Amino acid sequence: MARTNTFGVFGLAVAGAVIALGAHAQSGDPGAQIQAKLVSQIKLTKPTADHTDIVTAGDVVVLQKDGLMMCSSASTYAFSNTYSGGALTANYKNRAKDAAKSFLKGSIFGGGASATDAANNGCPSRKFVAGEKFWVTGVTPQKDGIVVATFSDPYQDPSNPSGDKVHFYGEIKFLYPRGVAPAPDDFVKTVSEVMTVAPGDDSDKGGGQSGAPAQAAAPAAPTPPPAPMAAIAPPPPPADAPPPTIAIGQTKDQVTTAFGQPTRMAKVGVKEIFYYKDMKVTFTNGKVSNVE
């Protein structure tokens, strides 16, 4: 009987664990939910493994706060920054890592700088201010916050003014308020206090020195055809010619010019008669003497 009760308690415990795991899977990990939300808002950029170039350009983001620090691509570690309570703060522990590596190398092989000097020079860095642009290369959830990896255009390395320009990279850790992950939408608002996606015309290009070329501008609308010319009115018809006239004393040529050749002619002595359809003209000595 006691054995039966033991198995009953164990079975209830297993069932409770299964139910708890199912509920956790259904609700999802808060950090993973925030990560998915951020990645859906910002298209990630893929750099080369040595951080010297870009493989695939994603969204360009604009810095909204002064003081973001990044290490040059020659550095072993990204420059770490923290954002909490509205303040963006550089974390110099990453320099300590490079310093320890440099100091250890110098201690073993000789020629290394002191620990203090190595810490001061372990990471050639650049400070970015509000308005500058960069890319996001990763979003990683952690127990107490989300780490966003950053990557810049090539800039002059302050430690090597005569050398080639290099990319800089870093990371920003956004701490959960009071250590508890907020709703994804609320966390996205927090991230937007530090960075926002650049407008569409800046997509696929960085702060002005490298990155994929911008999309070509849309072709201009075709020029409309010219309006047809107004029709030219035809000239007015000529005025009716006045009717021909005949007068006493006109010659035969004048009469035939005005009325044409007669239909019949007759000659009586010194007189000649021209017959027209509706008129008879008598000439005496070659000039009009009568019209009927």
Map tokens 């002619």 to a residue: 265
Higher pLDDT, 210 or 221: 221
Lowest mean pLDDT among 51-60, 96-105, 245-254: 96-105
Predicted confidence (pLDDT) per residue in 19-58, tens digit? 433 343 345 789 999 999 999 999 999 999 998 899 999 9
SS (H, E, C) 160-189: CCCCCEECEEEEEEEECHHHCCCCHHHHHH
Predicted confidence (pLDDT) per residue in 57-92, tens digit? 999 999 999 999 999 988 888 999 999 999 999 987
Res 76: pLDDT: 86
Residue 264 has pLDDT above 70, yes or no: yes
Residue 105 has pLDDT above 60, yes or no: no
Residue 192 has pLDDT above 60, yes or no: yes
Res 114: pLDDT: 44
Would you give the distance in Å from CA 269 to the centre of its chain? Answer: 110
Residue 183 has pLDDT above 70, yes or no: yes
SS3 state of residue 240: coil
Res 116: pLDDT: 45
The whole-number average pLDDT for the span 250-266 is 87
What is this structure's pTM? 0.55
pLDDT-above-70 percentage for the chain: 74
What is the average pLDDT value for the chain, to the nearest integer? Answer: 78
Res 217: pLDDT: 58
Res 252: pLDDT: 85
Lowest mean pLDDT among 74-83, 88-97, 139-148: 88-97
- Radius of gyration of the chain measured on its C-alpha atoms: 52
**Residue in 83, 193, 80, 70 with CA at minimum distance from that of residue 135:** 70
**Contact by Cβ (8 Å): 205, 213:** yes
DSSP string, 9-65: HHHHHHHHHHHHHHHHHHH--HHHHHHHHHHHHSPPPEE-TTSSSEEE---EEEE-S
Residue 227 has pLDDT above 60, yes or no: yes
Q: Which two tokens stand for residue 48?
A: 């080369």
Residues 6+ apart with CB under 8 A from 75: 98, 122, 123, 124, 125
Distance (Å, rounded) from C-alpha 164 to C-alpha 155? Answer: 8
The whole-number average pLDDT for the span 189-216 is 65
Residue 269 has pLDDT above 70, yes or no: yes
Residue 103 has pLDDT above 60, yes or no: no
The whole-number average pLDDT for the span 100-113 is 49
Q: Which two tokens stand for residue 228?
A: 């047809």
Res 101: pLDDT: 57
